[in-house]
């Protein structure tokens, strides 16, 4: 069983911890490829000087070289490499492809046994590599051979973790089929194989399609390894695909040919006048200094530079995941090459197939990096959820107000909002027209409505996406009159699209809006009840707020911001409205109220009896004790944790989505916030 757990997520990207027989490592990570006798930098240096937690070497080379083989069998591969950390071994699949070796050169069962016997922490099956240019029928045959070898190999792993490689060439359907066939087998890690030629040809879009096609059919508790991915400019995007492990010999190969790796691409040393790098190598010398060295010394310095840059970029990727900013980093790196940017757009197009793994909410701002920002999965999910859950659909006046979203909406619309607050939704609905789409006034503080920073000049495709979302939302509403307040905002252009489908009254000032508002009715509900009902519907799916007893709720308002802080019933706080996300965090009493209102069906986690007392004490609900979870529950959602009898134990924040809670046997499922006293 794979000893793998997740610590944090950002989209499909994961911060994880993988346990091996030689210690644990933090993922995502890169494993430098090391040769038993040819490494310019020793494996021990890899760890001590550059911080690489794990290395990978080739078991075929070790097995076929007598002096390596005897040492590895008698003393272990760790002694052979003089490396104390975890070691992964490859089986020789790529060597067979690259050197056109005959099929009988490597026995698929013997090579797995050999890896086990030399003490590899992670071994790899001998799969069949498919050239990108061969016919689909050939790739199908290769996939079938790989599957047959996988089935025969998996029982030979012993205590070694074993990697079952997913092949399928450039054909997404074959990648998906291979992943589905491998998933039931007792593998611990799943490499995505056959991508090195695609990397060399800058066919990143094909890698995206192949990886996502496999990823959605693989067990979520097994790390995914993108074989041969060693260029730092692709790390962020590869992690965005959900890959956890990477390996490459590029650091050495590129140095041998006088090339330097950077997060933005590759540069020949001969073309440089300056060293645009702050690594220890570049900060201690000059271009002329490196060029003046003898070939061996120059190659060693370039190798070290490439390792420093590679290690630093992987740290950047892990930090971006922890901050929820990996898509921004990937977008910046995608500007390094048109093929990278094309691949990013392909990813954003395909992410809908696997968006159940996308965390539901965060608190960090989303910075505009280009037109890809409008396609951000969180923005798409936000708009879809509004259309699905918004409780107010019929009104006298629909008031549309363009806004860039660069500051709180109330800062520029205070007079209008004051008048909306004293009217009911059946009288007027206020909707902000923003670069991310339609934002109803009641949800103006909900993430990411005011956490997106867009420039004042938007690309035409950004406007097209925004207007499509606005029109989709408007089409779900019934109204007698539509009023558009023209403003100096890039989204003001959307009026032409809205007015082509609806009769719209265009006004240019706040005073005109106030004059057009329908008369105030004395029976209008409080604005706080109206806003709470909308948030309950958005966050918890409460379709009938009257079941929640809104008329009996009390609220406390922040004097500094004017926002709701706490929601109370009979003097007890049942919800806190989180300022950074605009969402409701329930107390234990709030959890009970949600269950009574029928709002728990998509947010429940049921734990086994063995975990009940621990959860009651406020300890985290661990994955190994999760009996079941609501299928729609996502990482980041508020969760109602219950026992098998249906009794509420407490409320907390889901760390994983429902499928991951069931798949993982290590790590935290829900961080508890409030439990029964």
Active site residue 90: yes
- Identify which of 610, 618, 614, 604 has the alpha carbon closest to the alpha carbon of residue 647: 604
Bridge partners (DSSP) of residue 573 are 568
Contacts 24+ apart (CB under 8 A), 574-578: 577/445, 577/535, 578/363
Cβ neighbours of 100 (radius 10 Å):
6
Residue 467 in contact with residue 500, Cβ under 8 Å? no
For CA atoms 469, 472, 478, 481, give the dihedral sign. positive
Residue 247 and residue 588: Cα distance in Å, rounded? 47
HEC secondary structure over 227-276 = CCCCCHHHHHHHHHCCCCEEEECHHHHHHHCCEEEECCEEEEHHHCCCCC
Tokens describing residue 502: 């609806």
Question: Which DSSP letter does residue 153 get?
Answer: H
Bridge partners (DSSP) of residue 266 are 261
Residue 306 in contact with residue 32, Cβ under 8 Å? no
Residue 107 and residue 126: Cα distance in Å, rounded? 8
Residue 35 in contact with residue 42, Cβ under 8 Å? no
- Quick one: which H or E segment has residue 575? strand 572-577
**List 90, 127, 142, 492, catalytic entry:** 90
Residue 38 preceded by cis peptide, ω within 30: no
Cβ neighbours of 127 (radius 10 Å):
29
Residue 171 and residue 221: Cα distance in Å, rounded? 25
Residue 13 preceded by cis peptide, ω within 30: no
Q: Using the structure block, give the residue that is written with the tokens 């980093």.
A: 329
- Quick one: which H or E segment has residue 668? strand 668-675
CA 421 remoteness from chain centre? 38
Residues 6+ apart with CB under 8 A from 57: 33, 34, 35, 36, 77, 81, 87, 88, 89, 90
Residue 248 and residue 231: Cα distance in Å, rounded? 8
HEC secondary structure over 329-375 = HHHHHHCCCHHHHHHHHHHHHHHHHHHHHCCCCCCCCEECCCHHHHH
Residue 429 in contact with residue 572, Cβ under 8 Å? no
Residue 35 in contact with residue 90, Cβ under 8 Å? no
What is the crossing angle of helices 232-240 and 295-323, to 10°?
A: 30
- Identify which of 21, 220, 225 has the alpha carbon closest to the alpha carbon of residue 115: 21
Active site residues: 90
């Amino acid at each position: 069983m794979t000893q793998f757990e997740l610590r944090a997520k950002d989209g499909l990207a994961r911060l994880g911890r993988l346990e091996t027989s030689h210690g644990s490592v933090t993922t995502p990570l890169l494993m430098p490829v090391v040769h038993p006798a040819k490494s310019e930098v020793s494996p021990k240096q890899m760890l001590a000087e550059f911080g690489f937690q794990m290395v990978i070497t080739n078991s075929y080379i070790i097995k076929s070289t007598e002096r390596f083989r005897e040492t590895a069998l008698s003393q272990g591969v760790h002694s052979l490499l003089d490396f104390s950390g975890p070691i992964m071994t490859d089986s020789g699949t790529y060597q067979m492809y690259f050197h056109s070796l005959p099929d009988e050169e490597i026995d698929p069962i013997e090579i797995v046994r050999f890896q086990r016997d030399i003490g590899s922490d992670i071994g790899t099956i001998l799969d069949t590599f498919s050239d990108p240019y061969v016919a689909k029928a050939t790739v199908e045959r290769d996939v079938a051979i790989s599957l047959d070898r996988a089935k025969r190999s998996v029982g030979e792993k012993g205590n070694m973790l074993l990697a079952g490689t997913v092949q399928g060439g450039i054909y997404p359907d074959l990648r998906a089929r291979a992943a589905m066939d491998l998933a039931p087998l007792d593998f611990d890690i799943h490499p995505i194989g056959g991508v090195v030629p695609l990397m060399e040809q800058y066919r990143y879009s094909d890698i995206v399609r192949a990886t996502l096609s496999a990823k959605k059919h693989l067990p979520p508790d097994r790390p995914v390894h993108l074989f041969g991915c060693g260029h730092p400019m692709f790390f962020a995007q590869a992690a965005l695909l959900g890959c956890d492990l990477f390996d490459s010999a590029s650091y050495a190969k590129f140095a041998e040919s006088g090339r330097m790796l950077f997060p933005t691409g590759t540069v020949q040393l001969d073309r440089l006048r300056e060293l645009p790098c702050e690594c220890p190598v570049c900060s201690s010398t000059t271009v002329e200094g490196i060029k003046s060295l003898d070939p061996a010394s120059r190659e060693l310095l370039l190798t070290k530079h490439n390792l420093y840059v590679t290690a630093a970029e992987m740290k950047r990727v892990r930090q971006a995941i922890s901050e929820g900013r990996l898509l921004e980093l990937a977008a910046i790196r995608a500007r390094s090459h048109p093929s990278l940017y094309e691949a990013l757009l392909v990813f954003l197009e395909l992410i809908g197939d696997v968006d159940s793994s996308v965390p539901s909410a965060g608190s960090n701002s989303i910075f505009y990096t280009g037109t890809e920002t409008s396609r951000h999965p969180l923005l798409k999910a936000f708009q879809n959820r509004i259309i699905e859950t918004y409780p107010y659909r019929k009104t006298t006046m629909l008031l549309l107000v363009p806004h860039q979203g660069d500051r709180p909406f109330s800062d520029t619309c205070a007079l209008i909002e004051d008048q909306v607050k004293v009217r009911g939704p059946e009288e007027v609905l206020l909707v902000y027209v923003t670069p991310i789409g339609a934002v109803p006034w009641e949800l103006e503080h909900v993430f990411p409505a005011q956490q997106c920073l867009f420039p004042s000049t938007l690309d035409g495709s950004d406007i097209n996406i925004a207007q499509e979302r606005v029109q989709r939302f408007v089409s779900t509403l019934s109204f007698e009159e539509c009023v558009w307040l023209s403003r100096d905002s890039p989204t003001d252009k959307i009026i032409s699209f809205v007015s082509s489908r609806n009769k719209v009254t265009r006004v240019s000032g706040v005073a005109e809006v106030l004059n057009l508002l329908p008369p105030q009715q004395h029976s209008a509900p409080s604005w706080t009840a109206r806003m709470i009902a909308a948030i309950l519907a958005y966050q918890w799916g409460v379709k009938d707020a009257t079941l929640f007893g809104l008329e009996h709720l009390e609220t406390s308002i922040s004097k500094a911001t004017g926002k709701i802080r706490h929601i109370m019933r009979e003097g007890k706080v049942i919800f806190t409205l989180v300022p950074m996300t605009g969402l409701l965090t329930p107390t234990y009493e709030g959890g009970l109220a949600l269950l009574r209102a029928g709002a728990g069906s998509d947010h429940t986690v049921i734990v086994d009896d063995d975990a009940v007392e621990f959860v009651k004490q406020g300890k985290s609900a661990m994955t190994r004790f999760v009996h079941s979870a609501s299928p729609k529950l996502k990482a980041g959602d508020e969760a109602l944790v219950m026992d098998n009898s249906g009794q509420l134990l407490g409320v907390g924040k889901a760390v994983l989505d429902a499928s991951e809670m069931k798949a993982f046997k290590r790590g935290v499922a829900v961080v508890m916030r409030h439990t029964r006293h």
